[in-house]
Amino acid sequence: MQYEQFSNPSGDDGRATLEHMNEHHRSLAEWALSTLPDISPKKILDVGCGGGMLISLLSELFPNSKLTGIDISSDAVEFTKEIDGELIRKGRLNVVQGSVSELPFKDSEFDLVTAFETYFFWPDLGNDVKELCRVLNENGTVMIVSETYPHPKFDERNARLIKDYGMNILENSKMAELMEDAGLAVEMIEVEDNNWIAFIGRK
């Protein structure tokens, strides 16, 4: 798969990538959501919604919530609308095209903001983390999740991902620092054997 299909999926190859992501990342998403604190968000934003799988899980975990998905890829937006069409018909979901660097939402609009397997491709990571924080209300939660972080056990695989797909894979301490600089208190939860990491930030 070409680099662009991970950062901005399009066309038939993009659809195949989104389908693969939905399947491949499901166990990661289920684990990460299980680590969330006891919260009852009324409004949820999923940044880089991709194939819509995480939105489906969020809708089940928080059945009284209103959800919004955003993705830079117009094809991903349409794919999410297809996968999660029932949520749209019920008035629970809105999906829009846009960039994490300029989220088209008001300050303090959401109670929970999620970003799964997506920060690798953000154009201005420090600013973009601050954008997540900007649209988060007081006492809200940000969750950033990755199945890849620097670790000797995974050095060879991670080096290949960086080379082949241009992924920006951050040290966990650096991501935590960016979130703290944006005004969040950060907890890190790892599954070292899987190279999984969840960053949970509270405003």
Is 188 exposed, middle or buried, given 0-12, 13-18 or 19+ CB atoms closer than 10 A? Answer: middle
Instruction: Determine what percent of the chain is predicted with pLDDT higher than 90.
Output: 81
Per-residue pLDDT at 77: 93
Question: 15 vs 68, which has greater pLDDT?
Answer: 68
Domain that holds residue 120: 3-202
pLDDT band for position 22 (cuts 50, 70, 90): low
Residue type, 182: A
Whether the pLDDT of residue 9 is over 60: the answer is: no
CATH of the domain at 15: 3.40.50.150
Question: 64 vs 2, which has greater pLDDT?
Answer: 64
Per-residue pLDDT at 69: 98
Whether the pLDDT of residue 6 is over 60: the answer is: no
The C-alpha atoms of residue 15 and residue 101 are separated, in whole angstroms, by: 24
∠ CA 173-180-168 to the nearest 5 degrees? 45
**b (16+ CB within 10 A) / e for 93-117:** bebeeebbeebebeeebbbbbbbbb
**Does the predicted model carry a pTM greater than 0.85?**
yes
For residue range 170-186, list pLDDT tens digits in order: 999 999 999 999 999 99
Q: What's the total number of domains in the chain?
A: 1
Per-residue pLDDT at 1: 43
β-partners of residue 30 are none
